[in-house]
Structure formats: structure tokens, C-alpha cells
Structure 1
Amino acid sequence: MPYFEHSGVRLFYADYPPASSARPPLNLLLVHGMWGAAEGWIYQIPALRSHHRTVAVDLRGHGRSGSPPTGYDVGDHAEDLAALIRHAGLAPVVVLAHSMGCSVATVLAARHPDLVRALVMIDPDYAGDPGDREWMARLADDLEGPDADQIAQDLFSDRFHTPGTPGHLRTWHLLEVLSRPAWVRAQTFRHSAFGPGSLRFLPQAEPVLRRRRQPVLAFHRHAARAQVERMCLSHDYSQVVLRPQAGHFIHQELAADVNDSLMRWLSALPR
């Protein structure tokens, strides 16, 4: 699997050529969420690569990529992706993203519209309630404290999982949290919530979301977030899918549903 360097950081990506050449393939870039890695897309990669070139990246500080002491703002991640797209010859690419990856992909699409053909957003972290600032600031502090491992795992259990989340996914996610150094988890969270490029809260997110001119397919579990998404869409081919029964990892909990919707949407994507 290949690596490339950008701004002094060694970044990992897995590159899967299309298995079939029956129709012209799309180039797809899969971007995980906070504290995740490329393997978070294991339920999508086999289906996607059957027809399309599929690339899954580890963001800086995650997975097999390097962990520099700085550079964890959403905008830094977006520039890493822009460099990868150019390096791997993916433009114009369809970006599939989860959680924090959706903010990164949105900033990428707004800054570099020539590089992005379309966006698929899975339970985005952007455009949240500004009233959550206070508890998120406390959480950012706690993630830098002595109980950081437990605090991080509790965040997943309390906020990201539901009673219906399968046990094997719960176990995977809680173990994955511990595979990231505590300082990387803390930097990533603080920058995603409060960094200069953050889209976590609605006032900062809305103008950037409205700058996206690409088609967007968005999967949401919260009706209020889904409505914000609808109001910010500009392309006629865009679609919002609401899945309130799922937890944060919609693409893993409802893999067959997500894959079917995704493959249909991609098959008719304006070229």
C-alpha cells in the first residue's frame, strides 16, 4: 500500500483499482472520522471497488500516517487531501466522508472545487448547536487530563452508540480509540471543535456549506441536522437520507442500506 509526503508528514492511503471495466469508473476518496482510520470503510470498499477506483486514506495522526506535533486543524487535513488527490491523479474525485471527515471534505470542496466532483456525507459533525460549546470545551480539557482514555471511550459509548449498535462494532470502536495517542486525540478534538477551520457549530458552518456547488448525498440520524443540510444544498442532484434508528457509524450499522443507496446514487451521478 502506498504512502506520500505532504508538508513533512508521511500519509498512508490504500488504492484499489476497479474490478470491472464494464462502464467508466469514478474515482472515490474515502475519509474516516475523528480517531478512525481507513479500515472503517471495510463494509463499503468491496462494493465500491467492484466498479470504481477506491482510495481510503489515513488522516495525519491517524492509522498508519505520521503524527506531527502540529497541523490538526480541519483546514490542514483538507490541504493534505488536496495534495493526495493531485498526487494520485484522482481529480475530479467523489469524496465519501464520515463525521469529522465531512468537515474536512466540505472545506476541501469549498476551497478546491476543481478537485471534487461530488460529496457523500455520513452523519457529519458540522453545523451543530452553538449551545454545546460549553460542554465541548470541558470535554476538550478532560481529553488532556489523566483520565483521557476513559473520557474518550465514554464519548463513544454515550454519544455515538445506541442500544441497537451491534456488540462487535462497540468493541471495535472502543479499542480503536485506544490505538491513538492521548495527545493526538486531544489535539484532533480541540481543533475540530474550536480551530480556525472548524465547522462544528452552525454559525461557522453554514456559509461554508453553502459554498459547495457539488452534488451531495448526506446520511443523517438527527432530523434537525438533516434540515440544515437541506437548506444549504445548491445542486439539484443532491439528496438527504434520514436514518434515526442508527448510531453515529451509520455506514457500519446499516451497511447494506447505505451501500445500496450509495451505488444507485453514484450510477446516475452527473458526469
Structure 2
Amino acid sequence: MPFADLGDARLFYTDDGSARPVLLLVHGWGSDSHEWSHHIPALRERYRVIAVDLRGHGYSSAAESGNTPRRMADDLVRLCGRLGVETVIPIGHSMGAQVVSHLAVEHPSLVRALVTVDPGYGFTGAVADGFPAMVAALREGDANATAVQMDQWTFTPASPGWLKEWHRRRLLAMPAHVLTESFAAMFGEPRSIGVRPASEEYLVRRECPVLSFWFDPAQAAWERTVFKDPRSKTVVWEGSGHRLHEERPGEFLLVVNTWVKEVTR
């Protein structure tokens, strides 16, 4: 049965394919593992692929508290142990990029390499200045409606309508307290790594090679300054939306497959 009971969390996951290395697919805020539906069929032909709904998301359980990226990373460590997985290459989108970065920093022996997709870290300037108001709006109003409104920045005029509707429905179905707690943990608390300089101080501790996708060239240029492994690289797709892996799945898979082959040979 595709559920793992971890005591304080019950996670839904799928486990496909058998070849090494093992990829661990980690979705973003207010989403679930279905966002990898365009990618799993091709990836499982090359790798073992584990795709999980983080705590509070999708078909996984939602605790009253503890729905934070750090706790989500701890869940993934326990899930890997349950499945007998000793090393993984996590691929994390948005909040998922924070989650997998916690894995790389706090559990370096588990993470062989790392892929992040328009990561939810490194923000500065007007964007970072706006996070306190966003946290307050989630806490004080209709968190689901607020999340849908906040999500509009993630799309461009070229983003397909089905993608907008899929994520709108996911956000409306989310437990409101999970949306609020997880967003605040990313961007509104003393230990949050979503904004600089906290991002820099934490991410520089990632020793493994990192492949990072961005639509913003300035953000990509900044992240290069915190890479430690010389095999790390950034890919910039200007004009894409925040969910560039869903907008351009074929190109995304091509880049990921090529890079994984390079860092694992």
C-alpha cells in the first residue's frame, strides 16, 4: 500500500522503477506529487523514482502543527529509511527546494546530488519585504483564497490554462493551517531560509553538486555564489513561469537526465 505511517505523519508516496540512482521528487507549497505526473513515466525507465506528498499536502496526513520544511525533510529521511534507500538525488520545486536543501545540509550522506526548480529561497528586495504582509494575510483572512491570489505571480501569459486551474483547485483543497504554517516557516520566522542573508548562510553548507533551474537570471547568478561543488550549475529559462518543469517537461527531463549522468558516472 503506498502509504508510510511515520507515527506523527502518514505519507502517501509512489515508488517506481528499479535502476540506480534513486530520484526523490518533492513538490512545492500547496501542491502534491501529482505535479510530477508528466515526468514520472519517463524517469522510471532510467531510475528508481520515489514521489511523495509532503505532510499536510495531497493524500498525506495534516498534523495540527509541525507542518514546516524542516519537519518535512525529517519525514523524508524516515521514509528513505523505511524503503531501504541509502542515497538519493532529490528534485525539489519551490518549497520543495527548501525541503531538499535541508536534506543536503542536515543529512549529507543521504544526498548524492541535488536538483532545485525555481527554488523558494534567496529572495531579497521588494519581494522579501512583502513576505510579512503575506504571512499576516494568511493568518488573518481566508487562507485558501489568499493563497490562490498569491499564486497568480507564478504564471505568465504563456502558462497553459489547465496548469492554472490544477493549482487553483489544489490550493482550495489544502488545510488552511498548513498553508499558513508552512509559508510562515519558509519566509517569516527567525530560522527561515527563504530570504537573504539567511539563505546564503545556510545554503553554502550544501556540499553536494546542485543543478538549479530559474526563470530569473539575477537569482541564478546569486545562487552560483553559494555553490560548493564545481559540478554545480544553474539553468535559466527566461520567460517561463514559476512551475517551469510543468510548462516545459520535455526540456526539463532532457537537462536533468544529462546532468545526472554527468555527476554519477
TM-score, length basis structure 1: 0.93
Aligned match for 1:247, one of 238, 241, 244: 241
Q: Which runs of 5 or more residues in structure 2 are unaligned?
A: none
1:10 aligns with 2:5: no
Equivalent residue for 1:38? 33
Correspondence list, 1:142-181, <5 A: 142-157=137-152, 159-181=153-175
Find the residue that maps to 1:30 and give its secondary structure: strand
C-alpha distance in 2, partners of 1:147/1:13? Answer: 29
Taking structure 1 as reference, are residues 201 and 95 closer, same or farther at Cα in structure 2, changes over 3 Å only? same
Equivalent residue for 2:206? 212
Report how far residue 131 of structure 1 moved. Answer: 4.7
C-alpha distance in 1, partners of 2:186/2:143? Answer: 17
Correspondence list, 1:1-271, <5 A: 1-18=1-18, 25-129=20-124, 131-157=126-152, 159-270=153-264
C-alpha distance in 2, partners of 1:8/1:249? Answer: 30
C-alpha distance in 2, partners of 1:43/1:198? Answer: 31
Equivalent residue for 1:21? none
* Runs of 4+ more than 4 Å apart: none
C-alpha distance in 2, partners of 1:176/1:186? Answer: 15
Q: How many residues align?
A: 265
C-alpha distance in 1, partners of 2:170/2:68? Answer: 21
Report how far residue 36 of structure 1 moved. Answer: 0.8
Q: Which runs of 5 or more residues in structure 1 are unaligned?
A: 19-23
Q: Over the residues paired in the alignment, what is the CA RMSD in angstroms?
A: 1.5
C-alpha distance in 2, partners of 1:152/1:169? Answer: 16
Is the 2:144–2:174 Cα contact (8 Å) retained in structure 1? no
Report how far residue 197 of structure 1 moved. Answer: 4.0
Aligned partner letter, 2:216: H
Is the 1:103–1:198 Cα contact (8 Å) retained in structure 2? no
Aligned partner letter, 1:8: D
TM-score, length basis structure 2: 0.95
C-alpha distance in 2, partners of 1:250/1:132? Answer: 19
Aligned partner letter, 1:15: D
C-alpha distance in 2, partners of 1:146/1:201? Answer: 24
